[in-house]
Amino acid sequence: MSIKDITVVITSFKSNEKIINCLNSINSQCKVIVVENSDDLKIKQKIENSFNNVQCILSGENLGYGRANNLGLKNVKTKYALILNPDATLESSTLENFLFVAKKDLDFAIIGPAEQEKKESTSSSPNINIKDLIKTENVKGFAMFLNLEQFNEVGFFDENFFIYFEEIDLCRRLNKIKKKIYLSPLIKINHLGAQSHDESINKNMELSRNWHWMWSTFYYHRKHKGYLIAFLLILPKLFSAIIKMTIYSFFMNKDKREVYYQRFSGLLNGILCRKSWYRPKV
């Protein structure tokens, strides 16, 4: 196995600055597919003119995380794919280390870095050998190393999700058919978190995140536990959104009111079984 057996798939949306840093961190021998959800031809030209190993696909519309990654994965010809967020950067040994740990169990479905969040220090635990694989039920979506032949039964991401819960849903479906998911302390990936887009659109993206977090929460639970259980689970969130929306309206805090309105709207649309239709206004 070599780096040429890996294709990196990156879904981006107006990530002009972040994605350049990400692409600069990837070995130039590795093929990269970027799916640009803003459909901006200038971004495509800039990326492809700067990186010979990168193909930038314009999605035609804002497909969200799951659909865009599926589009990228359909164009992968290699044995393995690394799904990577544009606000993540690799270390010089990351790709080689993925291949190294993959050889430990060639029957794996997904491998992710053991340190899933900055606040977690799984990889530095004194009880864990740096070369060990840690069996887990799910991984974070910012870095997922896929053994593509293991996905023939379940497919990839559920395209009903726009953002949030797609990777948890995918891992759950893999767990049901006894596929293996691992974390590796040997894998190092730097991830900023929730900073994939340009700062100029922060407010609109924050409103979108709140809407979709609520919608996806309800949809995920409805899909796996049924409508009634999902409704009971999200009822406290629904009441909280209504109360806080009312409070911030009374105190004329427009920004906070908008955030909780989006949460309420996302939940309401989920409860009414409407599609995940909201898109950031940028």
Main-chain dihedrals φ then ψ at residue 202, nearest 5 degrees: -55, -45
Give the span between the Cα atoms of 130 and 125, in whole angstroms.
9
Structure tokens at 156: 């990839």
* CATH class as words, domain 3-191: alpha beta
- pLDDT of 3-37, one tens digit each? 999 999 999 998 888 899 999 999 999 999 999 99
124 has a pLDDT exceeding 90: no
pLDDT for the residue numbered 199: 65
The torsion of the CA quartet 91, 94, 97, 98, rounded to 10 degrees, works out to 160
| Spatial separation of the C-alpha atoms in residues 1 and 82, rounded to whole Å | 15
**Cα 104 from chain centre:** 25
**Domain chopping of the chain, boundaries:** 3-191, 200-271
Phi, psi angle pair for 6, to nearest 5°: -115, 135
The fraction of the chain above a pLDDT of 90, given in percent, is 81
Dump pLDDT digits (tens) for 74-84.
Answer: 999 999 999 99
- Which amino acid makes up residue 244? K
**Average pLDDT estimate for 53-60:** 95
Backbone angles phi, psi at 57, to 5 degrees: -100, 125
